Amino acid sequence: MFAGKMLTVRQASFRRMLDIGGQTVAEVEVHTAHPHQPELLAYFRNGPKGIQLVRVVSNDADTEIDWYDNNMHEAFADVTQRIFSGPSHASNNDRNEFGAEVLATDGLREELERHFSDGR
């Protein structure tokens, strides 16, 4: 579905800090220009190389129905491998570029840095 096509970020906004498997991550809602995956949730961690993209999850939840934001059902699926794998074998570069594009949106990097430094 995504092979060879970089996702264009239209908008990104911080949602919350989470603990996933003992690791603190920032959850970011991302709106893309991709017709089949217009909304994603991107998870970032603060590591030795700074803030890095950990994984990407599709957000197919219908807020009319899924108003309770329950990620325990099919509306949320990990799509990291599907998005960043392809014949070019540049998946790591694509992943880094996508993460950088998300972080460059509307002062998001600075907001995440504040949340990571606050421990929230």
| Number of independent structural domains in the chain | 1
Question: 15 vs 36, 90, 94, 111, CA distance in Å?
Answer: 22, 29, 23, 11
Residue 113 within any structural domain of the chain: yes
| pLDDT tens string 65-96 | 444 455 444 556 777 677 666 655 455 677 78
Whether 4 maps to a domain, the answer reads no
Residue type at 82 in one-letter notation: R
Range of the domain at 53: 9-118
Q: Tell me, yes or no, whether 14 lies in a domain.
A: yes
| Residue partners of 11: CB distance under 8 A and separation at least 6 | 30, 31, 105, 106
Per residue in 3-56, pLDDT (tens digit) is 445 678 999 999 999 998 899 999 999 998 877 767 899 999 999 989 999 998
Assess if residue 3 is contained within a domain.
no
Contact 116, 26 (CB under 8 A): yes
Query: Is position 18 within any domain?
Result: yes
